[in-house]
Chain A
Amino acid sequence: DAGVIQSPRHEVTEMGQEVTLRCKPISGHNSLFWYRQTMMRGLELLIYFNNNVPIDDSGMPEDRFSAKMPNASFSTLKIQPSEPRDSAVYFCASSDALLGTEAFFGQGTRLTVV
């Protein structure tokens, strides 16, 4: 397996634009996590899914953020409208349902909102 795949790796967008980040989890994993990393706040859990169902979205900062998982092999994190303070690295991670010993991370998407 190629691991967790995120796209794009880098995104630069203007304030007010819609941004969609994509994630393909490892095949067979049925838990998926979206994290945001900033210098100020470290690594924050935004939302996680189990069997494509959102379990906990309490970390989603505002209504401008939304996440979907239409099937077991794909998830999106959307920001609409984007703001400069959304600039961060967004990570997707996947694990088996029990989160036994490891969550596997993608390479991240570096988002810059200007």
Chain B
Amino acid sequence: GEDVEQSLFLSVREGDSSVINCTYTDSSSTYLYWYKQEPGAGLQLLTYIFSNMDMKQDQRLTVLLNKKDKHLSLRIADTQTGDSAIYFCAERSRSGGYNKLIFGAGTRLAVHP
């Protein structure tokens, strides 16, 4: 079945690196995503990685994919207070010829001074 799991909370000091982890079950997923949700807002795509890649870097963000273990991580370098939000991991799952996004429960990142 389809399932995405991630830890619920992470607290880091400003300036440190944050690492948010995620595991997924659908080995046929071709895209894996990280979405960010700020308070009172919808989800916005932060970054994504194609399944034939094992790393993607975009400024302060680094995504690592271990396809064998079905493990995805998001590293935020030099974490700032503005990074405080809920981060969702998602996999693109194909069923009956159609694609859909399956999300984890979200990791609430709290950045403190």
Q: Which residues of A contact B (CB under 8 A)?
A: 4, 31, 33, 35, 41-43, 45, 48, 50, 55-56, 91, 93, 98-99, 101-103, 105-108
Contact = CB atoms under 8 A, between A and B. Distances in A.
A108 B42 contact: yes
User: Which of B35, B44, B95, B105 has the largest count of A CB atoms less than 10 A from its CB?
Assistant: B105
Contacts of A43: 43, 88, 103-106
B47 to A, nearest CB: 10
Contact of A102 (B45, B95, B96): B45
A67 to B, nearest CB: 14
B67 interface: no
A99 B104 CA distance: 18
Interface in B2-51: 31, 33, 35, 41-45, 48
Q: Contact size class for B?
A: 20 to 34
Contacts, number: 58
B39 to A, nearest CB: 11
B96 A56 contact: yes
Contact of B102 (A45, A93, A106): A45
Given A41-B105, A43-B106, A101 B48 contact: yes
Contact of A99 (B41, B42, B101): B101
Given A42-B106, A43-B88, A43-B105, A105 B44 contact: yes
A33 to B, nearest CB: 7
A4 B106 CA distance: 21
A50 B99 CA distance: 10
User: Which of A43, A98, A105, A106 has the largest count of B CB atoms less than 10 A from its CB?
Assistant: A43
Nearest to B99: A99
Contacts of A4: 42
Given A102-B48, A106-B42, A42 B98 contact: no
A41 B92 CA distance: 19
Contact of A55 (B35, B48, B96): B96
B100 interface: yes
Contacts of B99: 31, 98-99
